[in-house]
Amino acid sequence: MAEVLIVKSQEEAGEIYARAVVTALARNPQLVLGLATGSTPHAAYQALARRVKEDNLDVSRVQGFALDEYVGLDPEHPESYHSVIFREVVEPVGLNPDLIHVPHSDIDTLPHAGADYDAAIEAACGVDIQILGIGTDGHIGFNEPGSSLASPTRMKTLTEQTRLDNARFFNNDVNQVPMHCITQGVGTIMKAKHLVLLAFGKSKAQAVAASIEGPITAMCPASALQMHPHATFIVDEAAASELKQAEYYQWVAHHKPQWQEL
Ligand code: PGA
């Protein structure tokens, strides 16, 4: 099963993520990071930026692949994931912009953009560490409930719930939230070598419990992580509040052997 770490704060989660990246970077300067948007990864990127600065780390050869992008939004729009990834990750961490990929969402290339993106990930020898948030409906990337657990990168239609959840980035106006997106598929995400899913707050508690302790089902795309050989959930106490086995996860974390990495 996935490792489940219950932490006190987003900052603590961010530090754990940053440590995992820094350890992997020391082994492989050409690390391939899977990047997510949304509020959840914010503290993780800040922690990574801090570590890179403090330890004077060379990240010039690190590659990045974003999970998803809206369709119908200009890449220069401040809320396009192209803009968000550059503003919240690439600039603060100091990554090389030429090595950062975001799925192409222009209508002309959309029919083959998914296959092209998966081919680009493969050409980079796959994602080493994929950071993930989770939707209140259990989505990962923009794979809404019902998405095939073997899906490749492709276009999807957002649920009304996701559009409502994301309206806060669009002047609280759901009508401004695009209807369509292109997202790495669940199958694509599952090919990453290490998945680190972060979740904070009570609104994520049900989705977190369903992902970790519920059945593996396309109705909760994050439940696919149960089949991944190296998946880590880092959740705060509110997001962990519906986990039946929470005490056991804390027991496991408390007795984690020192030699065992994240
Ligand atoms: P959030 O979104 O980080 O903004 O809560 C997570 C997600 O939808 O994957």
Q: Residue 262 — very low, low, confident or very high, per pLDDT cuts 50/70/90? A: confident
Beta bridge partners of 183: 68, 154
The mean per-residue pLDDT over the stretch 48-65 comes to 98
- Ligand 1 atom showing the smallest separation from residue 139 Cα: 9
Percent of the chain exceeding pLDDT 90 equals 97
Tokens 């060379």 belong to 58
- Ligand 1 atom showing the smallest separation from residue 37 Cα: 3
Beta bridge partners of 35: 66
C-alpha span between 123 and 117 (Å, rounded): 10
Helix, strand or coil, per DSSP, at residue 211: helix
Select which of 69, 118, 137, 236 is catalytic.
Answer: 137
The mean per-residue pLDDT over the stretch 132-152 comes to 96
104 is catalytic: no
The mean per-residue pLDDT over the stretch 107-114 comes to 94
Closest among 170, 12, 2, 167 to 78, alpha carbons compared? 170
Take residue 103 and report the two structure tokens written for it. Answer: 């799925």
What is the Å distance from ligand 1's center to 204 Cα? 9
